[in-house]
């Protein structure tokens, strides 16, 4: 079963929901040029010292084999941000969770 549009997640969910075995192949195109990149940032304000914060940083990128570098670290950072946001009123200082792209640029 080959899907080449944005309905892939829904189609995979439907197949899995029917209990059918599912094999998926992802094909990507790698471009190693220089481009502007987004710098994602989560800001969680502190309750007593709003101008001070703890910085949690990590990176996201993909090279050579096409595996997204630091994917588990990125997922962990998202979960830390989600958990802390749920308790923001208890935080003395703020927290900023920031990601930078391409730490391996220049390989």
Mind listing the pLDDT tens digit for each residue in 68-87? 567 788 889 999 999 999 99
Distance CA 37, CA 99 (A): 11
Residue scoring higher pLDDT (22 or 68): 22
Total-model pTM: 0.59
Distance CA 76, CA 19 (A): 30
């Amino acid at each position: 079963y080959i899907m080449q549009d944005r309905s892939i997640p829904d189609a995979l969910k439907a197949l899995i929901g029917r209990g059918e075995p599912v094999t998926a192949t992802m094909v990507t195109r790698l471009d190693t040029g220089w481009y502007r990149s987004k710098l994602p940032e989560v800001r969680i304000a502190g309750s007593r010292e709003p101008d001070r914060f703890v910085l949690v940083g990590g990176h996201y990128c993909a090279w050579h084999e096409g595996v997204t570098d630091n994917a588990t670290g990125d997922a962990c950072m998202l979960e830390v941000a989600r958990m802390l946001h749920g308790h923001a009123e208890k935080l003395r200082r703020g927290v900023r969770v920031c990601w930078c792209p391409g730490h391996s640029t220049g390989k």
